[in-house]
Amino acid sequence: MFAAEGGGGVKFPGIKEMVEWPAFLFKDNELLAFNKVALISFIAMAIPVVWFLVAGSKAKKSLVPAGPQNLAETSIEFIEKQVIGQAIGPDGMRYLPLLLSMFLFILFGNLFGIIPTSHFGANARMANPVVLALLTWLVFIGVGVKHNGPRYFKDALFPPGVPKALYLLVTPIEFISTFLVRPFSLSVRLFANSLAGHILLITFSVLSATLFAKSLLVAVMPFSFFMLVAFTGFELLVAFLQAYIFSLLTAVYIGGALHPAH
């Protein structure tokens, strides 16, 4: 639909067309305008809810996992072993609900980027990554203060074992990297990867459609279509990987806040 009309060559959609979605509920409300991104966010929330409800009801009846229960337990164990176990340790099991929710919310939000008829991931907009990154920022600072008191800031900004003269250099770096850059890098990483994947898929979709319309260039179209299919598979991997990276970095930050001197 974005392909060129007539003989004008390939015309790619503008960034506004690619990422901005009009509201279809509360259109006139500046704070509650409900658009496609908000709908995808709610579906990305609803899928794990329904899935875990079914799994939980099965778990009450049988200790032998099967179907959704098996998948739910696999995802739980994945977060426990590959995220919490790697980044925090046994102390971090209390953060399982947070990290599992983050992982599933980001994963399903990303997967909508390759689901036909949707073809837009919730995290290809900056809103969700910012919310999650700010939450991470608040959580790891809160965990640090809760477990270490004011000493958390002292240990984080003035790492023990560093010569005092170096604090002039180290402390500003630690302050910027720990308290300013972390939420920004978390949100931008997730958003940029999702948006880049979205743009790539649009690019090869437009190319395929345009080349299919041009009789002389139709021979090139299979290459473009192959790239479209390949990048769709690649986006599946990226969807999982970004959810894993975001959850893992959140766990790393929480683990660092629990033991700031390390």
From the CB of 154, what's the least distance to another protein, in Å?
Answer: 31
- Judged by CB under 8 A, the residue of 1, 5, 24, 30 near another protein is 30
Does position 120 interact with another protein (CB under 8 A)? The reply is no
Q: Does 71 bind another protein (CB under 8 A)?
A: no
Closer to another protein at the Cβ: 11 or 151? 11
Interatomic CA distance for residues 237 and 220, integer angstroms? 26
Smallest CA-to-CA distance from 182 within 142, 147, 148, 136 is with 136
To another protein, the closest distance from the beta carbon of 55 in angstroms equals: 6
Distance of CA 225 to the CA centre of its chain: 27
- Residues numbered 36-55 forming contacts with another protein, rule: CB under 8 A: 37-38, 41-42, 44-45, 48-49, 52-53, 55
Does 217 sit near another protein (CB under 8 A)?
no
Nearer to another protein, 158 or 226 (CB): 226
Closer CB to another protein, 129 or 260, in the complex: 129
Residues 173-212 close enough to bind another protein by CB under 8 A: 188, 191, 195-196, 199-200, 202-204
Determine the Cα–Cα distance for residues 19 and 145; give it in Å rounded to an integer: 38
* Rounded Cα distance, 18 and 15, in Å: 5
Task: Give the Cα separation of 186 and 198 in Å (integer).
Answer: 19
For the chain, the residue count is 262
DSSP E strands in 9-89: the ranges are none
Determine which residue in the list 126, 145, 217, 245 makes contact with another protein, applying CB under 8 A. Answer: 126
- Three-state secondary structure of 107-167: HHHHHCCCCCCCCCCHHHCCHHHHHHHHHHHHHHHHHHHHHHCCHHHHHHHCCCCCCHHHH
Helices 68-78 and 96-111: crossing angle in degrees, nearest 10, is 110
AA letter at 54: V
**Stretch 130-169: interaction string toward another protein, x if CB under 8 A:** xxx--x----------------------------------
Q: Which residues bind another protein (CB under 8 A)?
A: 11-20, 23, 26, 29-35, 37-38, 41-42, 44-45, 48-49, 52-53, 55-57, 59-60, 63-65, 69, 72-73, 76, 96-98, 100-102, 104-105, 122, 125-128, 130-132, 135, 188, 191, 195-196, 199-200, 202-204
